[in-house]
Amino acid sequence: MKTIFQQPSRDEFINRINALNSRHTAQWGKMNLYQMLKHCTVWNNWILGKSNQVYKQEFLGLVFGKLALKGIVRDDRPMKKGMPAGKGFIVKEKEGDIEAEKKIWISQIADYAHFSNPAFVHDFFGKMTEEEIGILAYKHFDHHLRQFGV
């Protein structure tokens, strides 16, 4: 199973992120390129524990979260198109510095080599193992890069 904690996976994502440019448009979903990049950098800050985010699981997550998580991390199937973004990760600004967001994202990916955030609780899935976090991060990044054709 691929995970963000494997160096070859991080290298793959860095190459794919570097391939992005302003000509890439979404093949599905509502985000433009800048919004997707910003979404991923904000999401990474949350996962990596670099934001002032409060870790709390939503009510629906308490009911369905663990079952949904098992469906995502049980095999190598990519995430489905059109998966909803969490409320805190929807980027409303439509324009920004694409190259700066790419650099931030690449830097964050390197940070996964030294991941340590034992307090992390996903807002829907709840408390996760490090292995589950690694698989989810891999699939999340792959999902958005496929969304933009890279």
Structure confidence by residue, pLDDT tens digits, 34-58: 999 999 999 999 999 998 777 788 8
pLDDT of residue 144 exceeding 80: yes
pLDDT of residue 84 exceeding 80: no
Kindly state the tokens that stand for 51: 């934001």
Torsions phi, psi for 55 (to 5 deg): -90, 110
- Between CA 1 and CA 12 the distance in angstroms is 15
pLDDT of residue 106: 98
**Interacting residues of 73 by C-beta distance below 8 A, sequence separation 6+:** 1, 131, 132, 135, 136, 139
Half-sphere exposure of 138 (CA within 13 A, CB side): 24
pLDDT of residue 87 exceeding 80: no
**CA distances (Å), origin 69, targets 72, 100, 143:** 5, 31, 15
**Interacting residues of 119 by C-beta distance below 8 A, sequence separation 6+:** 49, 55
Averaged pLDDT, 115-141: 96
- pTM attached to this predicted model: 0.93
Averaged pLDDT, 103-116: 97
pLDDT of residue 108 exceeding 80: yes
Residue of 68 and 90 predicted with greater confidence = 68
**Number of neighbours of residue 32 by Cβ within 10 angstroms:** 20
pLDDT of residue 44: 97
Mean pLDDT over all residues of the chain?
Answer: 93
- Between CA 64 and CA 67 the distance in angstroms is 6
